Amino acid sequence: MIPLAYDVVIIGAGIVGAACADECARHGMRVALIDRDGVGGGATAAGMGHLVVMDDSDAQFALTRYSQLLWQQLRSDLPADVEYEACGTIWVAADDQEMAEVYRKRAYYERSGVPTVVLDQRALERLEPNLRKGLAGGLLVPEDGVLYPPCAAQFLRERALAAQAKLHLGSVLEAGKGRVRLSDGQEFVAPAIVNAAGTWAPELTPGFVVKKRKGHLAITDRSPGFVRHQLVELGYLKSAHSLTEDSVAFNVQPRRTGQILIGSSRQYEVEHSEVDDGILVRMLRRAQQYMPDLAAMSIIRVWTGFRAATPDKLPLIGPLPGDPTLFLATGHEGLGITTSLATARLLLDQLTGRPSAIAMEPYLPSRLVREHAHV
Ligand SMILES: Cc1cc2nc3c(=O)[nH]c(=O)nc-3n(C[C@H](O)[C@H](O)[C@H](O)COP(=O)(O)OP(=O)(O)OC[C@H]3O[C@@H](n4cnc5c(N)ncnc54)[C@H](O)[C@@H]3O)c2cc1C
């Protein structure tokens, strides 16, 4: 079979690969986007779709904020089925200790130009009357939003195809040194290959660590107005920070349908995708502690997904040491819906040598990856 020649071959058509294909194709590159499952079989189909600025580190903050602004710019182009809502996040503080975190967070966000509003007990009760009474307050981040990830990825994929990108269905066996080989024997050649295969990325490119971090989500039947913002307990930060322990946190999202999406859990060293009753019950109980009337609602679907977690909680975006043709775009953990657009921009900046809007060094694979001796 004659190899197919492109300027860039992108492996994985989840939201990260789709965003990269869209960015490169609209820049005029000849792009191949390859996925074995067609549309959205990975984390993108399972994600919560919270577009959130997070301040775990300066680099995480820079990437999430940059990407959030890119989503805002895209807003008027998004079709209705993407269900983009600028509903804002409220970080809920249960007690005075968590209120101290509210003030710390506000100072950090405001210093970096992200608007916030501190809510006292009464203001929180007014904005979210279905939260349990007696919570200390919270921090409203009005520019955060939510969307429906599978349709957002579909939009980016279709825009890439409209800009002449080609979608190939197939399973990639090998990638590197300017070549990609599929299981059916088809080969591709390109000066740039992007491994955007999510949690599967290390199977194609050995030498770096991306661990699976399992999550559960549940969705209720319709109850419009019950939740108005994405509500997250400040304790979520502890849960998201742990690199070893299973954890749950109160994290609920209003859907445009009036349904309530309930998260979230994190589990390590778990490979199977079945629903784990124990952790699901813990997660739902935690949600009910914050919103007691959730107990009266029906859960109509529960599912799981896997986040791709790096040891330093930052994604891998950039060339692989030892193979200048091979780029990584993976390791986005619980933020890949948010950061997909910024990832694509940084990738194109690297491919074209143009300056980036934010420093790209914190995300370069060279910080974590051994010299690549594959293919
Ligand atoms: C429960 C849960 C909640 C989340 N909530 C949020 C949230 O609120 N906000 C947020 O920003 N992020 C969230 N995330 C994270 C987000 O979903 C992911 O970071 C993001 O979807 C990753 O996208 P991706 O394109 O890198 O990977 P994926 O969507 O997994 O796509 C990888 C693709 O690669 C393909 N592939 C793999 N190997 C091969 C191969 N050998 N050949 C061909 N194709 C291959 C797969 O078929 C797949 O389609 C959540 C994740 C989970 C699990």
Cβ atoms of 325 and 193 within 8 Å: the answer is yes
Average pLDDT score over residue span 206-214? 93
Radius of gyration for the chain, computed over Cα atoms and rounded to the nearest angstrom:
21
Of all protein residues, the one whose alpha carbon is nearest to atom 14 of ligand 1 is 334
Q: Is 240 helix (H, G, I), strand (E, B) or coil?
A: helix
In the chain, which segments carry CATH 3.50.50.60? 4-47+149-210+313-367
Whether the predicted pLDDT of 240 surpasses 90? no
Binding site membership of 119 for ligand 1 (Cβ less than 6 Å): no
Whether the predicted pLDDT of 90 surpasses 80? yes
- Residue 107 vs residues 53, 100, 143: alpha-carbon distances, Å: 14, 11, 16
Of all protein residues, the one whose alpha carbon is nearest to atom 1 of ligand 1 is 215
| Residue-wise pLDDT tens digits, 288-342 | 999 999 999 999 999 999 999 999 999 999 999 999 999 999 999 999 999 999 9
In the chain, which segments carry CATH 3.30.9.10? 86-143+211-309
| Residue-wise pLDDT tens digits, 93-132 | 999 999 999 999 999 999 999 999 999 999 999 999 999 9
Instruction: Tell me how far apart the alpha carbons of residues 203 and 192 are, in angstroms, rounded to a whole number.
Output: 19
Average pLDDT score over residue span 30-43? 90
Task: Identify which of 102, 95, 135, 136 has the alpha carbon closest to the alpha carbon of residue 117.
Answer: 102
Global pTM reads: 0.97
Of all protein residues, the one whose alpha carbon is nearest to atom 41 of ligand 1 is 172
Q: Which residues contact 8 (CB under 8 A, 6 or more apart)?
A: 24, 29, 30, 31, 32, 190, 191, 192, 193, 194, 351
Residue 235 has a pLDDT of 80
| Residue-wise pLDDT tens digits, 194-207 | 999 999 999 999 99
Residue 375 has a pLDDT of 41
Q: Which atom of ligand 1 is nearest to the CA of 304?
A: 1
| DSSP percent split of the chain into helix, strand, coil, nearest 5 | 35, 25, 35
CATH for 4-47+149-210+313-367, among 1.20.1540.10, 3.40.50.720, 3.50.50.60, 2.60.200.30?
A: 3.50.50.60
Residue 244 has a pLDDT of 66
- DSSP label at 354? P
Binding site membership of 317 for ligand 1 (Cβ less than 6 Å): no
Task: Identify which of 260, 188, 216, 271 has the alpha carbon closest to the alpha carbon of residue 6.
Answer: 188
Q: Which residues contact 159 (CB under 8 A, 6 or more apart)?
A: 22, 25, 26
Average pLDDT score over residue span 27-43? 91
Of all protein residues, the one whose alpha carbon is nearest to atom 33 of ligand 1 is 12
Q: Among 51-60, 83-92, 239-248, which stretch is predicted with the lowest mean pLDDT? A: 239-248
Q: Is 250 helix (H, G, I), strand (E, B) or coil?
A: strand
- At 245, the pLDDT band (50, 70, 90 cuts) reads confident
Binding site membership of 305 for ligand 1 (Cβ less than 6 Å): yes
Q: How many other CB atoms sit within 10 Å of the CB of residue 184?
A: 10
- Superfamily of domain 86-143+211-309 in CATH is D-Amino Acid Oxidase, subunit A, domain 2 (3.30.9.10)
Question: How many Cα atoms occupy the beta-carbon half-sphere of 212 within 13 Å?
Answer: 18
| Residue-wise pLDDT tens digits, 56-81 | 999 999 999 999 999 999 999 999 99
| Residue-wise pLDDT tens digits, 141-186 | 999 999 999 999 999 999 999 999 999 999 999 999 999 999 999 9
Cβ atoms of 64 and 314 within 8 Å: the answer is no
Burial (CB count within 10 angstroms: exposed 0-12, middle 13-18, buried 19+), residue 74: middle
Of all protein residues, the one whose alpha carbon is nearest to atom 26 of ligand 1 is 198
Instruction: Tell me how far apart the alpha carbons of residues 373 and 375 are, in angstroms, rounded to a whole number.
Output: 7
Residue 155 has a pLDDT of 97
